[in-house]
Amino acid sequence: MSAKKIILIVLGVLVLGGVIIGTILHGQAAVTKVATGKAVRQDLVAVVSGTGQIKPKTYVNVGATSFGRITHLYVKEGDHVKAGQMVATVESEMPASAVDAQKATIAASKTDVESYAAAERTAEANVEMAKADLEQKKFDYDRALALYQEKLIAKQDYDAKKAAYDVSAATLQQRIAAVAQAKAQTNSAHGHVDQAVATLRGSSYNLGLTQSKAPFDALVTNVPVREGETVVVGIQNAEGSTLMTLADMSVITAEVKVDETDIVNVALNQPADVTVDALPGRVFKGHVTEVGDQALLRTTGVATSQSTTGTEEAKDFKVVVTLDQPSDDLRPGLSTTAKITTAHKTDTLTIPIQSLVQRNPEVEKALAANGGRPASGTAQAATATAKPKSQLVQGVYVLQPDHSRKLRAVFVPVSTGITGATEIEVLNGLKQGDEIVTGRYKVLRALKSGTLVKRDNTPEAGPEVDKS
């Protein structure tokens, strides 16, 4: 064989190889690489998160109830106090002297009562004596009357007995009146004692205002004053009127803000996991005890009903989570995050959230029938009558083999249920094991039904790290 023929054969082989390679490369270029996943059955938990701070359910600002200088502060910030424990005192010389003076008045009044009671008893004894004397004088008068009627005594003697009887009767009436007077004086003395006792209660109350006691078992969270400072009775939280803040740490809550798009899923008694930035690695169990009705502006925290601005901005709602097991390590004001479980389903069909897209099903059906390419008439007509964006259908792209066993992405509408962290529940449209397109985002955004696809589940390369 001549060299010329050999060269021609080699050239022919090269040309044929180039054609084959070009055909292969062209075919590969027409296939879209996609990341895929499958619809699987698993337990799904829907969680709503909110951030906020630790707050006691009950706390009070112990205010000054008496004007004066602070003589003693018995506690400091961070101390635990018991109900009724003395926490502070204000100078009390004037109310204390008033109490002592009133006690002396009561003692003197009680002595007067005893004196009048003795006089009352004396008057009652005088009445008994007058009664006995009157009875004697009655006997003498009766005898004198009988003798006088018999003409046995002179009228002078009879008149003397009658006069003695009349005097004795008058004396009895006088002494009965003296008893009534003595009783009135005794009652008046008792009234003076009651009046002095009532005044003593008022003076004791004023003295008590100089002593501040803990209303319940609590933690001292703030003491803005010092011994020797003068406090005044004023408006709550005004400077100089608050002695300290006490927090009841037996019931601790996490007060968090939840986004307005999630609040509809939050309800009372839902379980929650609470974490505190200052205590990493620890999770506190709790449950929702309050769901706010007022929307709060995210920038200012002011309720929308109280806001005077007309600008639209993101809003939050207050949610209170009560911890099941309070801890002494928790302090009011610590930053916290609450993850509230709003729904929990077992063995439910799920897919990755990122696989969901919104498409016009009429257009997608036309594209699928034409291998992912718009037809001259059908697809254009469907596009012309396409639904508005607000009426687009939610669905996923399912991998299905065509008649030549090539994989194509076909749009399938689905209905969804609860949403987890990365998965979402599928109520209908798919079955377990269906393979769907999950990404990548740029591919999925432009993907059309009927497009030839190829699985490519290699990890997506992240941004390069500057090692300099």
- Do the beta carbons of residue 282 and residue 334 sit within 8 Å? no
DSSP code string of 3-50: HHHHHHHHHHHHHHHHHHHHHHHHHHHTSEEEEEEE-EEEEEEEEEEE
Instruction: Identify whether the C-beta of residue 125 lies closer than 8 Å to the C-beta of residue 101.
Output: no
288's tokens: 């929702």
**CB atoms near residue 374 (< 10 Å):** 15
Calculate ∠ Cα 54-60-66, nearest 5°: 155
Residue, of 303 and 125, whose pLDDT is higher: 125
Tokens coding 246: 């006490």
φ, ψ for residue 449 (rounded to 5)? -65, 135
Fold of the domain built from segment(s) 247-344: Elongation Factor Tu (Ef-tu); domain 3 (2.40.30)
Mean pLDDT of the chain: 85
Please determine, for residue 180, whether its predicted confidence score (pLDDT) is greater than 50. Answer: yes
Beta pairing partners, 345: 44
Roughly what angle, to the nearest 10 degrees, separates helices 93-149 and 155-208? 170
> For 120-124, 237-241, 248-252, 425-429, which range has the lowest pLDDT when averaged over its residues?
237-241
- Both tokens of 215, joined, read 């209303």
Taking residues 369-393, what's their average pLDDT?
Answer: 58
Strand order across the beta sheet in which 86-90 lies:
211-213, 86-90, 68-73, 230-231
CB distance 393 to 413 below 8 Å: yes
Query: pLDDT tens-digit profile of 9-44?
Result: 666 666 666 555 554 444 444 688 999 999 999 999
* Residue 320 and residue 289 in contact, taking contact as beta carbons nearer than 8 Å: yes
Q: How deeply is 120 buried, as exposed, middle or buried, from its count of CB atoms within 10 A (0-12, 13-18, 19+)? A: buried
**Tens of pLDDT, residues 223-257:** 988 998 888 886 655 666 888 999 888 889 999 99
* Secondary structure tally for the chain: helices H, strands E: 6, 20
The structure tokens listed for 213 are: 């006691």
Closest CA to 437 of 447, 423, 450, 427: 447
Query: What architecture is domain 32-44+350-455?
Result: Beta Barrel (2.40)
C-alpha distances out from residue 292 to 256, 318, 338, Å: 10, 5, 15
For residue 344, give both structure tokens: 């929990």
